């Protein structure tokens, strides 16, 4: 290939080959969908998707490929999402509005083709799943700065839906505007927290004295900025994309290590994988002997089960329970060693889900 035209011709040929292979893959996917429909198998298999990405990462390294694991994951998560829609189109409910970080998290796993339902509260997501109006739900579980989302935990304690997957997503803010230059900006929209999270950026670019207008969401900020060429918004990447507002600066937050753990909810149990986590809620009764929690945790230690999180929650019912303890640990509910522990405590334990460990980046 000696010229730019030669390179473009080569790319066109390769793109044709890629499309042909993708079409062949989707023919197999349709047959998989038929088999699952007959057997009642789950369409979303995060453990299978993770195994495919890890295998392809090894293959790329062994064959001196240019694509790293992050690039492979970005490409194949979208392929998986398209595949699932061919197998069986599903609705995905999420905490809205459109353009929020929860929307971004949902789309990162279910792709642009899926049918999304934006809802106004976490409670509404749970109720939509319980009423079978959607197959999957995506809600925030905890943030590295603000801690656990109490509403999600409280609803999991009472719901029939379970955690089937988790994902950790870095929270990055974008500065978006239709203004041709920064000095033409007369107002900035964002959620109230957005201004505080990007104080250093605003100061560095002499935007502190520009009018700051708080709105109910960063998605709303993007909508308002899309209609005013003298306005800007501090919002998520997906909000800027959704409402067609050009991004002037990316990653403008003061602290770049903020991340949120999201959970995907549904009504089925995952099969075991090589790297699982399980979430449970433990309700220790009032009046039990001192050190009840310690004794409970000792049972995990004796079975060599490692905990990744423990969070206390005050009880909100009238059943005689004092505190609830939300616990994450490594392993699957169907493992014998875990069953031995949980059988000792009967009604004190509520299983919230077993799922593939998400990227091993604990908050």
* pLDDT tens, N- to C-terminus, the chain (363 residues): 778 888 888 999 999 999 999 999 988 888 877 777 666 666 677 778 888 888 999 999 988 889 998 889 888 888 887 887 776 667 899 998 888 889 989 988 888 778 899 998 999 999 999 999 998 999 999 987 778 888 998 899 889 999 999 999 888 899 999 999 999 999 999 988 888 889 999 999 999 889 999 998 888 899 999 999 999 999 988 889 889 999 999 999 988 778 899 999 999 888 888 889 999 998 866 544 556 778 788 888 889 999 998 888 776 665 555 678 899 999 999 999 999 988 887 778 889 999 998 865 444
Residue 69 included in any domain: yes
CATH of the domain at 292: 3.30.70.260
Number of other CB atoms surrounding residue 241 within 10 Å: 16
Q: What span, in angstroms and rounded, lies between the C-alpha atoms of 116 and 118? A: 6
Task: Extract the tokens encoding 105.
Answer: 């998290």
1 within some domain: no
Q: What six digits make up the tokens of 19?
A: 């499309």
Q: How far is CA 66 from CA 63, 70, 306, in A?
A: 9, 11, 36
Q: Look at residue 293 in the predicted model and tell me its pLDDT.
A: 76
Per-residue confidence (pLDDT) for residue 291, from 0 to 100: 67
Within a domain: 11: no
Structural domain span for residue 68:
16-35+46-87
Judge whether 362 lies within some domain: no
Q: Specify if 361 maps to a domain.
A: no
Q: Which of 163, 155, 166, 157 is nearest to 126 (CA)?
A: 155
Same-domain check for residues 224 and 167: no
In this structure, the answer to whether residues 100 and 71 fall within a common structural domain is no
**320 within a domain of the structure (yes/no):** yes
- Angle, helices 46-62 vs 69-87, to 10°: value is 140
Are 309 and 351 within one domain?
A: yes
Looking at the structure, do residues 190 and 210 belong to the same domain, yes or no? Answer: yes
Note whether residue 363 is domain-resident: no
DSSP 88: -
Residues 6+ apart with CB under 8 A from 305: 329, 330, 331, 337, 338, 341
Do 164 and 178 share a domain, yes or no? no
Residue 122 sits in the same domain as residue 148: yes
The dihedrals phi and psi of 246, each to the nearest 5 degrees, come to: -60, 140
Q: How far apart are CA 46 and CA 273, in angstroms?
A: 9
- For residues 190 and 226, membership in a common domain is answered with yes
Q: How many structural domains is the chain composed of?
A: 4
The CATH number that applies at residue 144 is 3.40.190.10
**Which residues 6+ apart lie within 8 Å of 300 measured at CB?**
307, 329, 341
């Amino acid at each position: 290939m000696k010229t730019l035209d030669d390179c473009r011709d080569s790319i066109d040929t390769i793109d044709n080959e890629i499309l042909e292979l993708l079409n062949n893959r989707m023919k197999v996917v349709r047959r998989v969908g038929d088999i699952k429909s007959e057997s009642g198998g789950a369409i979303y298999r995060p453990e299978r998707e993770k195994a495919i990405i890890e295998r392809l990462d090894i293959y790329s390294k062994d064959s001196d490929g240019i694509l790293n694991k992050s690039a492979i994951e970005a490409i194949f998560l979208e392929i998986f999402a398209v595949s699932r829609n061919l197998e069986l189109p599903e609705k995905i409910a999420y905490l809205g509005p459109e353009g929020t970080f929860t929307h971004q998290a949902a789309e990162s796993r279910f792709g642009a083709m899926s049918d999304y339902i934006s809802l106004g509260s976490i409670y509404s997501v749970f109720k939509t799943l319980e009423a079978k109006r959607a197959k999957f739900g995506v809600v925030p579980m905890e943030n590295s700065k603000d801690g656990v989302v109490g509403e999600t935990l409280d609803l999991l304690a009472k719901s029939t839906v379970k955690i089937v997957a988790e994902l950790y997503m870095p929270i990055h803010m974008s500065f978006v505007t239709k203004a041709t230059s920064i000095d033409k900006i007369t107002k900035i929209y964002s959620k109230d927290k957005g201004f505080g999270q990007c104080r250093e950026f605003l100061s560095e670019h002499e935007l502190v004295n520009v009018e700051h207008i708080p709105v109910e969401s960063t998605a709303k900020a993007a909508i308002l900025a899309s209609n005013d060429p003298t306005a800007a918004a501090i919002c998520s990447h997906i909000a800027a994309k959704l409402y067609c507002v050009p991004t002037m600066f990316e990653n403008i937050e003061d602290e770049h290590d903020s991340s949120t753990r999201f959970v995907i909810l549904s009504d089925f149990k995952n099969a075991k994988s090589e790297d699982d986590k399980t979430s449970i809620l433990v309700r220790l009764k009032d009046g039990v002997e001192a050190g009840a929690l310690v004794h409970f945790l000792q049972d995990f230690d004796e079975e060599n089960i490692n905990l990744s999180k423990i969070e206390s929650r005050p009880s909100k019912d009238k059943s005689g329970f004092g505190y609830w303890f939300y616990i994450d640990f490594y392993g699957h509910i169907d493992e014998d060693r875990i069953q031995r522990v949980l059988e000792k405590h009967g009604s004190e334990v509520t299983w919230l889900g077993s799922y593939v460990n998400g990227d091993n980046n604990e908050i």
